[in-house]
A and B are shown apart, each in its own frame.
Chain A
Amino acid sequence: MEVKLVLKLISSVISSSSGKPPVEISLSDSMETIEEWDSLATVTLAAALDSEFGISIEVDDLESLSSVKGIMQLLNISF
């Protein structure tokens, strides 16, 4: 259940950051597989994760936010 929620969150953040309609995000996706997912979207994700889950992201952790799996790990969600 939580997995779906996070996937939807990632999709909507990328959509609002890029200004394009939301695309379907799956567990295997990352900055490399989704065109609209760029550094700016990742940074926005960091801010969004902070707001939604209260997780404060350090600059050093940013790299883990560039893939869905990385995000899931950071949030301690098993998939």
Chain B
Amino acid sequence: MDIRLAEPKDSEDIQDFIKSHWKDDHIFVKDNNFFNYEMCLFGAPNFVLAFNGGKLIGILGFTCNRDSIKTSDLFLVMFRVIKSQASIKVGINLINHLSSLTKYKIHTIGANEKTLTYYNFLGFNTGWLDHFYWLNDDPKLSFLFIKKSSNIKNFQQKNTDELFQIFESDLSKYKFNSISECGHNLPKSRSFFVRRYFRHPHYKYVFLSNIMLNGFGVVREVDVKGFKGWRIIDWYGHLNKFSDFCSALIVRAKERNISFIDLYVKGINEDDLITAGLNRISESVVIPNYLEPLVMKNISISYASSLDENIFLIRGDGDQDRPSY
């Protein structure tokens, strides 16, 4: 069995493998441009490949949150091995090889709940992202998302400065440096923010900031049957300012007649988010995740991580916020 990092020449074989052994209408198969954008960050596809006698038998796709594989935390986004007696060994070898390529840790977001047992066995800690939301007070804007109009509380928001939009050139103002400056172990680099959000071929992301935050949030607007919602996708800055950002975002959302804000995150204190004006998801509301086609259901997003503490995971990590058509 041969295990190695993919080279540029492997692109087509990888896409063929996905077509034959995963989904023949996967976006990576249908949209070559998107495949290149998402997976070929440094020229070659970000995949670890397993070969048996020259035949491709397993692939492990990943994304990086900093500037090189060696210096990034890596997020598994596609893990597939042809079923055989050796599958387990192949799988483990792929993950081990990937681990050896970085000084940092391996994570994955959105794995199927049964697979979490498998990750536990391999030594990962697993869990679920916390799901929070805000709904507009105006019933005309929020009725679609309310199932039982009981327990929805909206707290008094803190006084915050207004948010303004920032652009790529503004990013030079921020340091994007060390772990200690953000209060967690999964910092992202400037080029990550640029390529992930400013260069996205399909989605439009908005960067919002104010002076007090000493950082910025990344938000994407979605449309649900004519109602607008904002998803909080990412955050740069110290974790202790994150809830302030949420507060400010709520003010902005009210001004712009936005129906809801939603957030999937791990590593933020619940009390801070509640004081900021967000609520933990419950059966009384539905903030849909799948929009194409629309499925009116709340979903849970899992994570597996080889990090023990100081985790900060959010929707922009891995491949969670990605078109699926």
Contact = CB atoms under 8 A, between A and B. Distances in A.
Establish whether A and B are touching in the complex (CB under 8 Å): yes
A32 interface: yes
A39 B118 CA distance: 8
Interface string B77-113: 0000101111111011000000000000000000000
A38 B80 CA distance: 12
Q: For chain B, what secondary structure do more than half of its interface residues adopt (helix, strand, loop), or is it mixed?
A: helix
Contacts of B92: 59, 62
Interface residues of B, number: 16
Interface stretch (A3-11, A20-28, A43-51): A43-51
Nearest to A47: B121
A66 B118 contact: no
Contacts of A43: 88, 117-118, 121
Given A39-B91, A62-B92, A46 B121 contact: yes
Contacts of B118: 39-40, 43
A70 B84 CA distance: 14
A58 to B, nearest CB: 11
A12 interface: no
A38 B115 CA distance: 11
A44 B88 contact: no
A31 interface: yes
A25 to B, nearest CB: 15
Given A46-B121, A47-B121, A63-B89, A31 B84 contact: yes
A14 to B, nearest CB: 13
> Which of A47, A62, A65: most chain B Cβ within 10 A?
A62
Contacts of A40: 114-115, 117-118
B315 to A, nearest CB: 26
Contacts, number: 45
Contacts of A62: 88-89, 92
Interface string B57-90: 0000000000000000000000001011111110
Nearest to B114: A40
B122 interface: yes
A59 B118 CA distance: 11
Nearest to B116: A40
Contacts of B85: 30-32, 63, 66-67, 70
Contacts of B84: 31-32
B86 A63 contact: yes
Contacts of A30: 85
Given A59-B92, A59-B122, A62-B92, A44 B86 contact: no
A32 B82 CA distance: 10
Nearest to B92: A59
A44 B92 CA distance: 15
Contacts of A59: 92, 121-122
Interface string A39-78: 1101110110000000000010011011100100000000
Contact of A32 (B83, B91, B121, B122): B83
A63 B121 contact: no
Contacts of B91: 39
18 contacts: A31-B83, A31-B84, A31-B85, A38-B83, A39-B87, A39-B88, A39-B118, A40-B115, A40-B118, A43-B88, A43-B118, A46-B121, A59-B121, A62-B89, A63-B85, A63-B86, A63-B88, A66-B85
Given A59-B122, A62-B88, 12 more contacts: A38-B87, A40-B117, A40-B118, A43-B88, A43-B117, A43-B118, A43-B121, A44-B117, A47-B121, A63-B89, A65-B88, A66-B88
Interface of B: 81, 83-89, 91-92, 114-115, 117-118, 121-122
